[in-house]
Amino acid sequence: MMSGDSFSVASSIGGFGQEVQNTNPNPNPAAKKKRNLPGTPDPDAEVIALSPKTLMATNRFVCEICNKGFQRDQNLQLHRRGHNLPWKLRQRTNKEVRKKVYICPEKTCVHHDPSRALGDLTGIKKHFSRKHGEKKWKCEKCSKKYAVQSDWKAHSKTCGTREYKCDCGTLFSRKDSFITHRAFCDALADESARLTSLAAANNLNFGNDSMNETVINPQPGLPLGASQFGSGFRPELSGMAINGNSLGVDQQKPRLSLWLNQANSQLNPTDMMANSHLYESSGSTAFPEMVQAVSGNLFGSSSMPNFGNFNNQQFQGFDKSVSTSKNASLSLSALPHEMKEEGNKGNVVETLSSLYSDTQKKQSKPSMPMSATALLQKAAQMGSTTSNPSSIFGNSFGVMSSSSSNTTTSFNTLNQNRNELHQALQNSKQQAAENFTASGSVDGMLGSSNLSSLTTSTNSFDQLMMQTSGKQSDPVALKNHPGSNAIENSLTRDFLGMGGRESQRPFLAQELAKFASMSSAMGLSQFTGNH
């Protein structure tokens, strides 16, 4: 057997180093080729030894006209048609084709031996590249290198897509090897006990007992119940971070995923589960818990009639400290301090609200100290009402401020400026009066109050300026408006509602309404005009 082969080897060795012209024709689609078992070449097959150059060559057939390379002779022939060259397509020889097997030219290689020849030309080429060739193709994701492009392509399709990780930390890309490993992995022994209880919890959904298990399941450094929730509003954050996460995650995995599931159909039952976490999240750092709690809250307040009952059931299963601290956290936490039953859903998506929202807000909490925002609004309104007249008034203030910067120490110039200001005010006051009488019906009150505020503003502004420069008031300045002072004092008090009033509340409501209407009528339009 071997002698015959060796003979043909010898005969083909002549072909060693030359181009071998017998390419395999395309597999005949009609007759399926018989495949030998791997590692057992056909004994009477012709053994072909190709040189490395031949094996690695890609485009062996070259057009003499344009030097374009082709892998198959047929392709070259067809190409030659384009040059109007004579071409001839080889026909598949009708006589019996002798089977060819190929050996690897690399002497140290196993496949160099004809008894281990490979049956396919493509196969031998790939083999040669893989084993004895340079790895030119690199996977981008994991930096694995390949000599054969098709290997590289196949790998990059699956690289990183499916990775199995054992709990001991080993990574596998193949499912079978992963499963085999897992069966023998020691680390799993501990986990399996825990996992079965978790699985039970997941399946039962509302099972109090199993949840108890997971809650109470001792983990290092997890102070349950009291320390987590009962420590009031701000538990220690670093501790909490771990606690909150580990406590919440096991229970949350099914719930959060369900809750955030795109299909909203699961929302209702999910939120019932989430309700159990409603009060846990006060003071915890874990965001998912927070989100959980929110969802629970919303649906609890609006759509779940038996919310209260259900919640109680839930809490019975928990640690006692949790349930007692539920109340504590209710009162302390940033979470609902008033469980509003009315649906706040309307607030979810809003458009820009009107200017008067601040006044409404102020009126709604009359007994609470005014918020800073409200104070600023009020100050702006007060500022805008006094500045209603034209920009000349603004001019005068501009003059004031620039000149005031000059006169940090000299008081006389201050007086001068004040006089200028009074003059400017006189002018503007008249102008303002004209403006106001020309406008609508509101102006009767508007004009007088504005004017009064103008005069009072200038008077007291003077006083304020005197304060800031730390000197006593100059009696000269006040003489400019002798008549208005007496009248204006009462209006001054009204203006700010201090001193002569019994209660703050009526001031707020009435005066604010007045300011709001004034500002809306005059101030804003004025200022949009100014811009």
Partner 1 sequence: MAPMFQDEGSSSVTSSPLQLFSMMSLSPNLGSPYPFVRELKSEERGLYLIHLLLTCANHVAAGSLENANIALEQISQLASPDGDTMQRIAAYFTEALADRILKAWPGLHKALNSTKLTLVSEEILVQKLFFELFPFMKVAFVLTNQAIVEAMEGEKMVHIIDLNAAEPAQWIALIQVLSARPEGPPHLRITGVHQQREVLEQMAFKLTEEAEKLDIPFQFNPVVSKLDNLDFEKLRVKTGEALAISSVLQLHSLLASDDELLRKKSPLAPKNLNGIHLPGVLQINQSTLGELLEKDLVNGHSRSPDSATSSPLSLSASAKMDGFVNALWGLTPKLMVITEQDSNHNGSTLMERLLEALYSYAALFDCLESTVPRTLERLKLEKMLFGEEIKNIIACEGAERKERHEKLEKWVQRLDLAGFGNLPLSYFGMLQAGRLLQGYGSDGYKIKEENGCVVICWQDRALFSVSAWRCRK
Q: Which is nearer to partner 1, 195 or 204 (CB)?
A: 195
260 forms part of the interface with partner 1 (CB under 8 A): yes
Minimum distance, C-beta of residue 394 to partner 1, in the bound complex (Å) = 4
196 forms part of the interface with partner 1 (CB under 8 A): no
Interface with partner 1 (CB under 8 A), residue from 96, 176, 350, 502: 350
Q: Pick out residues in 427-466 that bind partner 1 (CB under 8 A).
A: 453, 456-461, 463-464
If binding means CB under 8 A, how many residues of this protein chain bind partner 1? 111
Interface with partner 1 (CB under 8 A), residue from 185, 188, 332, 509: 332
Query: 259-285 in b/e burial notation, b at 16+ Cβ within 10 A?
Result: beeeeeeebeebbbbbbbbbbbbbbbb
228 forms part of the interface with partner 1 (CB under 8 A): no
CA max distance for the chain: 138
Minimum distance, C-beta of residue 413 to partner 1, in the bound complex (Å) = 10
Q: Pick out residues in 159-188 that bind partner 1 (CB under 8 A).
A: 160-161, 163, 165, 167
221 forms part of the interface with partner 1 (CB under 8 A): no
405 forms part of the interface with partner 1 (CB under 8 A): yes
CB contact at 8 A, 511 and 479: no
CA-to-CA distance for 348 and 295, rounded, in angstroms?
13
149 forms part of the interface with partner 1 (CB under 8 A): no
Minimum distance, C-beta of residue 305 to partner 1, in the bound complex (Å) = 19
Closest CA to 44 of 106, 121, 119, 94: 119
Minimum distance, C-beta of residue 101 to partner 1, in the bound complex (Å) = 39
CB contact at 8 A, 268 and 294: no
Interface with partner 1 (CB under 8 A), residue from 40, 177, 261, 525: 261
Interface with partner 1 (CB under 8 A), residue from 196, 408, 416, 490: 408
Interface with partner 1 (CB under 8 A), residue from 406, 416, 423, 426: 406
What does DSSP assign to residue 118?
A: B
Q: Which is nearer to partner 1, 66 or 352 (CB)?
A: 352
Per-residue CA distances from 478 to 158, 224, 250 (Å): 90, 72, 77
Judged by CB under 8 A, which stretch of 91-99, 120-128, 156-164, 426-434 contacts partner 1?
Answer: 156-164
Minimum distance, C-beta of residue 301 to partner 1, in the bound complex (Å) = 8
Judged by CB under 8 A, which stretch of 82-90, 222-230, 305-313, 385-393 contacts partner 1?
Answer: 385-393
Minimum distance, C-beta of residue 275 to partner 1, in the bound complex (Å) = 12
CB contact at 8 A, 47 and 12: yes
416 forms part of the interface with partner 1 (CB under 8 A): no
Minimum distance, C-beta of residue 405 to partner 1, in the bound complex (Å) = 4
CB contact at 8 A, 151 and 131: no
CA-to-CA distance for 118 and 253, rounded, in angstroms?
54
Q: Pick out residues in 271-310 that bind partner 1 (CB under 8 A).
A: 285-288, 290-291, 293-298
Per-residue CA distances from 37 to 34, 40, 119 (Å): 10, 6, 10
Q: Pick out residues in 308-327 that bind partner 1 (CB under 8 A).
A: none
Minimum distance, C-beta of residue 443 to partner 1, in the bound complex (Å) = 19
Per-residue CA distances from 501 to 19, 42, 211, 496, 498 (Å): 114, 116, 61, 10, 6
Q: Which is nearer to partner 1, 382 or 446 (CB)?
A: 382
Q: Which is nearer to partner 1, 199 or 379 (CB)?
A: 379
Minimum distance, C-beta of residue 485 to partner 1, in the bound complex (Å) = 10
Q: Which is nearer to partner 1, 306 or 472 (CB)?
A: 472
CA-to-CA distance for 406 and 401, rounded, in angstroms?
9
Give alpha helix (H) positions in 205-286: 208-216, 237-259, 267-275
245 forms part of the interface with partner 1 (CB under 8 A): yes
Which helix (H) or strand (E) segment holds residue 491: the answer is helix 482-496
Q: Which is nearer to partner 1, 261 or 312 (CB)?
A: 261
Q: Pick out residues in 354-373 that bind partner 1 (CB under 8 A).
A: 357-358, 361, 369-373
CB contact at 8 A, 281 and 292: yes
Q: Pick out residues in 459-498 that bind partner 1 (CB under 8 A).
A: 459-461, 463-464, 467-470, 489, 492-493, 495-496, 498
Minimum distance, C-beta of residue 271 to partner 1, in the bound complex (Å) = 10
Q: Which is nearer to partner 1, 26 or 238 (CB)?
A: 238
Degrees, nearest 5: CA angle 143-146-149: 120
| Cα atoms found within 13 Å of the Cα of residue 8, Cβ hemisphere only | 19
For 389-429, the three-class secondary structure string (H helix, E strand, C coil) is CCHHHHHHHHHHHHHHHHCCCCHHHHHHHHHHHHHHHHHHH
Residue 296, classified by CB atoms within 10 Å of its CB into exposed (0-12), middle (13-18) or buried (19+), is: buried
* Locus of tokens 């503007």: 428
Interface with partner 1 (CB under 8 A), residue from 234, 305, 441, 503: 234
